[in-house]
């Protein structure tokens, strides 16, 4: 994000005249609305905002945002976003990608974007499938996923997007669900974070992978399956009857019962969004035995890549002449004639 | 370097007052450094010159092996020099492997200077010699000067108390000292350079200077016989002005900076290390004070992706690589064509396919430049002919890219990138600026901005993100003509494909007509070249013309679109010969575009053409 004077806009100002062309009922609609709803609250300026995407269902996103937008090629959105931001660090850069785009064909770029810490927001729509190419399994699909390319079930193990991000050096990691209202909170925190803010959004592809997340997105069971983390607050779920404690023997998390709301007695941890080890533990908790950790899991800024590049450009230029003729004539020269 | 007009006046045969010297040794012997410094002294003596550095792909090839030999050839003279020379007159061989791999190129009667101290049994066997060639008479058709340079170097640096290995490192300076004596050169610039280079290690500077002086003194005092008297080569007549030596990589970097300045744009350069293109990244990364941002990306694709992003944001995006890297950039090139953003892509060609010959030169990426993308994806292509030509070509690439809102491919090659030649430094203020103006007029309220509206040359407007009221979306998916909205309709794709092609063809109206370098339209044979074959073609044509043959030289800078008068010009000749360091790529394009009977002359040995090879082909065409 940038320290610009806030601009007053409404949700309407962020909508384009283009017909939105996702399948009816696709989770992408909810995410689009959440972003359009968040923008006025951020005081962001449409003219100063750039949405960059790769290829896939999610990557059509820029066409629906009344901002500057660049729908690039498969997997390469992080590279284009890097050039945009280095050429003009004043711009608010958002990157929209999916599990295939961002973690398969573009996995290498995602790694380097995160380690460099370019100031931008990454919205990774994870639907555990290739939607646009008609339903092949993706790098986040669970083993055994049957798809046109894996009629007998997939046999490779999936990547955990948030664990990948942390492993690549991310300084901000959040998780949200397409239709969940708290998604806007994650967007706001991501925007406020200086550096690459990585937001994984569980997105329902109703055509090729319907309800793949329902075991934790289902409203009825949500209290028992969702752990919404908040900085400084205890890691509680199941209406406060369960929590996450540290098990020294496991070097990891353990679910504990909380009696009479006395979470401290049960050893439940307070969430600290600047604690990298805790963040790793939370994103690695295998769902089933553990709830799904959601919300802003990690937020601990470090100097940004674009900031460092600008600083070095300025320092290296200081006191140096930009006389091109002198540069050309630099070194040992000789004169002929006259 | 003399101007083209100067060259035309000077039709003296290349060998009248010119010498070709080749320094060859182990990769660890410092031959490139020796060659580089000898080049400097040659330039300062006012000779015209051309060089050819030829080094192994391995960074530290095993010592003494045939494939570990590194060589540097320089051709200098008192008249215009156009090539690095066919056959060396002098070969300096620092070990048996260097002798073995180079001696057959030496002209008959030429001089071999060999370091006998390095001709140990072990080194001889590594080079595959059963007998010591310095002693068995097998070098009889050449003159041989066999000296124990190793020993004499050790002797000269003794006062500095260096270890044996360290002391032997100065051997190249001893050799250089002897070479400076042979050609009557001033040692002072080299002494200055050594003092500057080893400012922090004065004892190393002193030792090297001592070795340099010892080599020079050896020439002066030893009675080497008549054949080994110093030869003074007079300064070459050249246009008055201020000169320096320049390599192609340097000149391209300077030209890109100049181009960005003339366009009034900041430059963003995205690169990824690859031989022989990395030198451009190295040069530009030191020029931040000229508004240059350099970015070493995670791969070739990221390098061009970031350059495209920077162009979208209003900078001049530039990326550079060699053939294999350009292949990786192919999809992104299509994106730049589709989004119609300015971009300069430099390809320092090397031997291919695949990894091919990383350190050897070739010009086999012409098809890749002109045709190498999915879809109908035309882009202007410009080819550099020599190190000093690279400066202007880079400016021209920037001009076309920004004027036509298109990526432009700038072709150079490993030979041009590394070779040095004297350069009459241009006066930057003599280039006409071509300032870029971004589109920043927002439409009336309720109106629509059309990012794919076009001007008279069919270029679309360039809008910087951040401009109020002009928000728009672009991408690789087919765009509606004018509106830029996604549009898959049949008629729109036809229209947009035609528009993209026509826009690139319009470049031909914006560049000069094709000139004839030597000779005139309507002669019997046209020798048509592009890129670094310029020098040998020019010499071969000059020689043929001196013999009264009806032959002309045509050398292309604009490979795509081809110059608007080229078809007519080619058809005025009875025959067309196209020498190329590939299997006949320009020849195919010319046949395709003009239905002319262009005949190929091909060489893909990793070495530039020899003048004699082209001369023979000219004779064969004219007599055949
Ligand atoms: S295929 Fe799936 S992800 Fe794509 S638009 Fe349809 S529902 Fe959404």
Confidence of residue A338 (pLDDT cuts 50, 70, 90): low
Picking from A66, A72, A313, the nearest residue to B476 by CB comes out as: A72
pLDDT at A1: 52
Q: Is B49 helix (H, G, I), strand (E, B) or coil?
A: strand
Whether the Cβ atoms of residue A333 and residue B425 lie closer than 8 Å to each other:
yes
Residue B234 forms contact with A (CB below 8 Å): no
Chain A nearest-CA residue for B252: A328
What's the mean pLDDT in B206-229?
A: 83
pLDDT at A330: 85
Between A23-27, A242-246, B163-167, B526-530, the lowest mean confidence (pLDDT) is in B163-167
Asked if A86 lies within 8 A of B311 by C-beta distance, the reply is no
Task: Indicate if ligand 1 lies below 6 Å from the C-beta of A23.
Answer: yes
On the question of pLDDT at A173 being above 50, the answer is yes
Ligand 1 center–CA A131 separation, angstroms: 5
Confidence of residue B228 (pLDDT cuts 50, 70, 90): low
How many other C-beta atoms can be found within 10 angstroms of the C-beta atom of residue B506?
Answer: 18
The per-residue pLDDT of chain A, averaged, comes to 96
Asked if B299 lies within 8 A of A108 by C-beta distance, the reply is yes
Between A111-125, B230-244, B465-479, the lowest mean confidence (pLDDT) is in B230-244
A216 φ, ψ to 5°?
-125, -10
pLDDT digits (tens, 9 = 90+) for A178-193: 999 999 999 999 999 9
On the question of pLDDT at B426 being above 50, the answer is yes
C-alpha span between A257 and A273 (Å, rounded) = 23
Q: From the alpha carbon of A25, which atom of ligand 1 is closest?
A: 7
Asked if B295 lies within 8 A of A109 by C-beta distance, the reply is no
pLDDT at B13: 34
Q: From the alpha carbon of A125, which atom of ligand 1 is closest?
A: 3
What's the mean pLDDT in A268-289?
A: 97
Residue in B267, B313, B469 to test binding to A, most A beta-carbons within 10 Å: B313
pLDDT at B82: 87
Q: A288: closest CA among A234, A338, A222, A216?
A: A216
What's the mean pLDDT in B461-486?
A: 96
Confidence of residue B8 (pLDDT cuts 50, 70, 90): very low
Asked if B291 lies within 8 A of A78 by C-beta distance, the reply is no
Element (H, E) at B555: strand B551-556
| CB-facing half-sphere around the CA of B319: CA atoms within 13 A | 38
On the question of pLDDT at B546 being above 60, the answer is yes
Residue in B266, B285, B305 to test binding to A, most A beta-carbons within 10 Å: B305
Domain borders along chain A are: 11-212+303-309
Picking from A47, A317, A333, the nearest residue to B468 by CB comes out as: A47
Residue B309 forms contact with A (CB below 8 Å): yes
On the question of pLDDT at B79 being above 80, the answer is yes
Ligand 1 center–CA B491 separation, angstroms: 28
pLDDT at B61: 76
Picking from A90, A317, A333, the nearest residue to B243 by CB comes out as: A333
C-alpha span between A332 and B185 (Å, rounded) = 16
What's the mean pLDDT in B530-535?
A: 95
Tell me how far CA of residue B422 lies from CA of B15, B391, B450, in angstroms: 19, 13, 49
A142 CA: distance to closest CA in chain B (Å): 29
Asked if B43 lies within 8 A of A334 by C-beta distance, the reply is yes
- Residue to probe by mutation, ligand 1, list A25, A28, A59, A130, most atoms within 8 Å of CB: A28
What's the mean pLDDT in B360-378?
A: 96
pLDDT at B9: 33
Confidence of residue B414 (pLDDT cuts 50, 70, 90): very high
C-alpha span between B621 and B615 (Å, rounded) = 10
pLDDT digits (tens, 9 = 90+) for B571-582: 999 999 999 999
Which residues in A lie closer than 8 A to residue B240 (C-beta atoms)?
335-338
- Give, as one character, the DSSP assignment of residue A157: P
- Residue to probe by mutation, ligand 1, list A207, A209, A212, A213, most atoms within 8 Å of CB: A207
pLDDT at B3: 40
pLDDT at A4: 67
What's the mean pLDDT in B45-51?
A: 90
Share of chain A above pLDDT 90, in %: 95
Q: From the alpha carbon of A21, which atom of ligand 1 is closest?
A: 5
What's the mean pLDDT in B93-108?
A: 94
On the question of pLDDT at A2 being above 60, the answer is no
On the question of pLDDT at B479 being above 70, the answer is yes
CATH class of A11-212+303-309: alpha beta
How many other C-beta atoms can be found within 10 angstroms of the C-beta atom of residue B235?
Answer: 14
- Give, as one character, the DSSP assignment of residue B470: -
For CA atoms A56, A58, A59, A64, the dihedral sign is positive
Residue B297 forms contact with A (CB below 8 Å): yes
On the question of pLDDT at B11 being above 50, the answer is no
Asked if B335 lies within 8 A of A73 by C-beta distance, the reply is yes
Picking from B239, B270, B473, the nearest residue to A83 by CB comes out as: B270
What's the mean pLDDT in B296-312?
A: 98
Domains in chain B, ordered, with CATH? 16-221 (3.40.920.10), 244-430 (3.40.50.970), 516-623 (3.40.50.920)
- Residue to probe by mutation, ligand 1, list A205, A209, A213, most atoms within 8 Å of CB: A205
Residue in A54, A79, A337 to test binding to B, most B beta-carbons within 10 Å: A79
Between B49-63, B322-336, B453-467, the lowest mean confidence (pLDDT) is in B49-63
How distant is the alpha carbon of residue B273 from its chain centre? 17
Confidence of residue B225 (pLDDT cuts 50, 70, 90): low
Ligand 1 center–CA B107 separation, angstroms: 72
Name the residue with higher pLDDT: B163 or A125.
A125
Question: Which residue lies with its CA nearest to atom 1 of ligand 1?
Answer: A131
Residue B291 forms contact with A (CB below 8 Å): yes
Asked if A320 lies within 8 A of B289 by C-beta distance, the reply is yes
A67 CA: distance to closest CA in chain B (Å): 5
Ligand 1 center–CA A182 separation, angstroms: 22
Whether the Cβ atoms of residue A196 and residue A118 lie closer than 8 Å to each other:
yes
Which residues in B lie closer than 8 A to residue A118 (C-beta atoms)?
none
Strands (DSSP E) found in chain A: 49-53, 68-71, 92-98, 120-126, 129-130, 136-137, 172-177, 196-202, 226-229, 236-237, 242-247, 252-257, 292-299, 334-336
Confidence of residue B232 (pLDDT cuts 50, 70, 90): confident
A280 CA: distance to closest CA in chain B (Å): 25
pLDDT digits (tens, 9 = 90+) for A29-45: 999 999 999 999 999 99
C-alpha span between B255 and B252 (Å, rounded) = 5
Whether the Cβ atoms of residue B151 and residue B117 lie closer than 8 Å to each other:
yes
pLDDT digits (tens, 9 = 90+) for B202-217: 989 999 999 999 999 9
Share of chain B above pLDDT 70, in %: 96
On the question of pLDDT at B62 being above 90, the answer is no
Chain A nearest-CA residue for B391: A328
Chain A nearest-CA residue for B466: A48
Pair of tokens at residue A36: 């359009």
**Long-range pairs for A319-322: beta carbons < 8 A, 24 or more residues apart:** A320/B289, A321/B289, A322/B289, A322/B290, A322/B291
Question: Is the whole-model pTM more than 0.80?
Answer: yes
Beta bridge partners of B121: none
On the question of pLDDT at A233 being above 70, the answer is yes
Alpha helices in B475-579 (DSSP H): 490-505, 534-546, 566-571
C-alpha span between B42 and A327 (Å, rounded) = 22
B266 CA: distance to closest CA in chain A (Å): 8
Task: Indicate if ligand 1 lies below 6 Å from the C-beta of A101.
Answer: no
pLDDT digits (tens, 9 = 90+) for A306-317: 999 999 999 999
Whether the Cβ atoms of residue A197 and residue A118 lie closer than 8 Å to each other:
no
Asked if A337 lies within 8 A of B289 by C-beta distance, the reply is no
Residue B13 forms contact with A (CB below 8 Å): no
Which residues in B lie closer than 8 A to residue A115 (C-beta atoms)?
none
ipTM: 0.97
What's the mean pLDDT in B483-497?
A: 96
B604 φ, ψ to 5°?
-135, 50
Confidence of residue B120 (pLDDT cuts 50, 70, 90): very high
Question: Which residue lies with its CA nearest to atom 3 of ligand 1?
Answer: A205
pLDDT at A35: 98
B296 φ, ψ to 5°?
-85, 105
Beta bridge partners of A123: A96, A199
Whether the Cβ atoms of residue B209 and residue B175 lie closer than 8 Å to each other:
no
pLDDT at B12: 34
pLDDT digits (tens, 9 = 90+) for B452-471: 999 999 999 999 999 999 99
| CB-facing half-sphere around the CA of A192: CA atoms within 13 A | 13
Whether the Cβ atoms of residue B75 and residue B50 lie closer than 8 Å to each other:
yes
């Amino acid at each position: 994000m940038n320290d610009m004077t806030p601009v007053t806009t409404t949700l309407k100002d962020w909508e384009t005249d283009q017909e939105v062309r996702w399948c009816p009922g696709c989770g992408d609609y909810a995410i689009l609305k959440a972003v359009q709803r968040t923008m006025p609250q951020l005081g962001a300026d449409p003219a100063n905002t750039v949405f960059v995407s790769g290829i896939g269902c999610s990557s059509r996103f820029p066409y629906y945002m009344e901002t500057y937008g660049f729908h690039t090629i498969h997997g390469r959105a992080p590279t284009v976003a890097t050039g945009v931001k280095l050429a003009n660090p004043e711009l608010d850069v958002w990157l929209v990608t999916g599990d295939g785009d961002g973690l398969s064909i573009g996995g290498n770029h995602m790694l380097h974007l995160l380690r460099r810490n370019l100031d931008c927001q990454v919205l990774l729509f994870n639907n555990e499938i290739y939607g646009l190419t008609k339903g092949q399994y993706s790098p986040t699909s669970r083993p055994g996923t049957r798809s046109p390319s894996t009629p007998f079930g997939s046999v490779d193990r999936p990547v955990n997007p948030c664990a990948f991000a942390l492993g690549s050096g991310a300084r901000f990691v959040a998780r949200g669900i397409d239709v969940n209202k708290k998604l806007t909170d994650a967007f706001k925190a991501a925007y406020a974070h200086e550096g690459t803010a990585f937001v994984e959004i569980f997105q329902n592809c109703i055509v090729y992978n319907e309800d793949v997340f329902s075991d934790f997105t289902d409203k009825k069971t949500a209290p028992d399956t969702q752990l919404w983390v908040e900085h400084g607050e205890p890691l509680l779920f199941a209406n406060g009857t369960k929590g996450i404690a540290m098990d020294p023997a496991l070097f990891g998390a353990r679910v504990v019962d909380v009696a009479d709301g006395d979470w401290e007695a049960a050893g439940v941890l307070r969430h600290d969004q600047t604690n990298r080890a805790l963040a790793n533990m939370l994103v690695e908790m295998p769902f089933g035995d553990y709830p799904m950790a959601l919300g802003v899991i990690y937020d601990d800024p470090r100097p940004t890549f674009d900031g460092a590049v600008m600083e070095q450009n300025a320092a290296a230029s200081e006191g140096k002449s930009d006389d091109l003729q002198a540069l050309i004539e630099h070194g040992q020269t000789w004169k002929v004639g006259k | 370097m003399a101007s083209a007009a100067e060259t035309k006046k000077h039709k003296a045969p290349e060998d009248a007052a010119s010498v070709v010297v080749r320094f060859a040794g182990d990769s660890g012997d410092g031959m490139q450094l020796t060659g580089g410094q000898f080049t400097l002294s040659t330039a300062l003596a006012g000779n015209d010159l051309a060089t050819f550095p030829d080094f192994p792909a391995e960074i530290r090839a095993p010592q003494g092996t045939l494939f570990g030999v590194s060589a540097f050839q320089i051709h200098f003279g008192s008249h215009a020099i156009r090539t690095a020379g066919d056959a060396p007159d002098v070969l300096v061989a620092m070990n048996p492997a260097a002798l073995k791999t180079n001696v057959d190129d030496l002209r008959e009667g030429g001089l071999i200077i060999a370091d006998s101290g390095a001709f140990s049994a072990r080194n001889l066997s590594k080079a595959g010699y059963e007998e010591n060639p310095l002693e068995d008479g097998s070098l009889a058709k050449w003159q041989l000067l066999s000296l124990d340079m190793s020993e004499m170097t050790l002797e000269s640096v003794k006062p500095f108390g260096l270890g044996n290995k360290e002391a032997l490192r100065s051997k190249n300076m001893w050799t250089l000292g002897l070479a400076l004596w042979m050609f009557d050169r001033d040692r002072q610039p080299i002494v200055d350079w050594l003092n500057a280079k080893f400012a922090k290690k004065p004892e190393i500077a002193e030792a090297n200077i001592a070795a340099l002086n010892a080599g020079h003194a050896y020439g002066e005092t030893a009675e080497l016989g008549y054949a080994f008297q110093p030869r003074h080569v007079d300064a070459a007549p050249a246009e008055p002005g201020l000169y320096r030596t320049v390599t192609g990589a340097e000149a391209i970097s300077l030209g890109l900076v100049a181009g960005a300045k003339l366009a009034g744009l900041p430059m963003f350069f995205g690169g990824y290390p690859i031989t022989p293109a990395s030198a451009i990244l190295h040069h530009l990364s030191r020029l931040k004070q000229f508004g240059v941002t350099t970015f070493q990306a995670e791969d070739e694709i990221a390098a061009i992706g970031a350059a495209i992003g920077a162009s979208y944001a209003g900078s001049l995006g530039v990326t550079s690589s060699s053939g294999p890297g350009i292949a990786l950039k192919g999809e992104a090139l299509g994106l730049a064509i589709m989004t119609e953003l300015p971009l300069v892509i430099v390809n320092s060609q090397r031997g291919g396919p695949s990894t091919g010959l990383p350190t050897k030169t070739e010009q086999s990426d012409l098809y890749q430049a002109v045709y190498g993308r999915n879809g109908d994806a035309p882009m202007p292509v410009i080819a550099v002919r020599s190190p000093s030509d690279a400066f202007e070509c880079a400016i021209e690439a920037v001009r076309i890219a920004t004027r036509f809102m298109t990526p432009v491919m700038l072709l150079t090659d490993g030979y041009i990138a590394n070779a040095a030649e004297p350069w009459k430094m241009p006066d930057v203020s003599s280039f006409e600026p071509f300032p870029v103006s971004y589109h920043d007029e927002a439409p009336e309220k309720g109106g629509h901005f059309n990012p794919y509206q076009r001007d008279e040359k069919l270029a679309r407007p360039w809008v910087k993100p951040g401009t109020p009221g002009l928000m728009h979306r672009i991408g690789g998916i087919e765009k509606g003509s004018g509106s830029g909205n996604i549009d898959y309709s049949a008629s729109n794709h036809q229209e947009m494909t035609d528009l993209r092609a026509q826009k690139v063809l319009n470049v031909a109206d914006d560049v000069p007509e094709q000139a004839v370098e030597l000779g005139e339209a309507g002669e019997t044979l046209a020798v048509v070249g592009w890129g670094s074959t310029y020098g040998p073609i020019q010499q071969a044509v000059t020689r043929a013309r001196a013999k009264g043959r009806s032959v002309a030289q045509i050398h292309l800078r604009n490979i795509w679109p081809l110059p608007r008068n080229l078809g007519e010009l080619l058809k005025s000749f009875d025959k067309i010969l196209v020498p190329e360091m590939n299997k006949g790529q320009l020849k195919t394009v010319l046949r395709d575009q003009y239905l002319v009977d262009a005949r190929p002359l091909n060489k893909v040995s990793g070495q530039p053409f020899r003048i004699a090879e082209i001369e023979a082909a000219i004779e064969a065409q004219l007599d055949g």
